[in-house]
Amino acid sequence: MSPHFRPNEWSEVTHFGTDRPMRFTGPLLFDANHKACTVGARAKPPRIASWEVHPIYKAEVCKNKTIANCSASNNSLWIPFDAWVASENGGQ
């Protein structure tokens, strides 16, 4: 996540540490400067696509553990990532 507008709470995060679905908010764009990895050619840094969400304005964790129970359109199911990290669930 780009540090330009990253909340301070994200600064100490080195991994997501969650097996729950996550939702990211930000503009989806095609970045032709970033090449995806192909057979025999590994991009630096490694990428699976040239599409990216950049910058990420918001990262959230679903209250439920399966994608089937995490409707993207039901905002009541999503917790801001920094709040989840500070919660009992995120402190695993």
**pLDDT confidence of residue 62:** 92
Please report whether residue 92 resides in a domain.
no
**pLDDT confidence of residue 53:** 77
Q: Give the residue numbers spanning the domain of 38.
A: 3-9+17-86
Please report whether residue 76 resides in a domain.
yes
Strands 58-62 and 22-25: antiparallel
Please report whether residue 24 resides in a domain.
yes
User: What's the CA gap between 75 and 24, in Å, rounded?
Assistant: 12
Using only C-alpha atoms, what is the Rg of the chain? 15
Q: Cβ neighbours of residue 75 under 8 Å, at least 6 residues apart?
A: none
**pLDDT confidence of residue 57:** 82
Query: Would the pTM of this model clear 0.85, i.e. be above it?
Result: no
User: What's the CA gap between 23 and 79, in Å, rounded?
Assistant: 9
**Is the previous residue joined to 45 through a cis bond, with omega within 30 degrees of 0?**
yes
Please report whether residue 91 resides in a domain.
no
Per-residue pLDDT of the chain in tens (92 residues, 90 and over written 9): 555 556 666 655 555 566 788 898 888 887 777 666 677 776 666 666 777 777 778 889 999 989 999 999 999 999 998 888 787 665 55
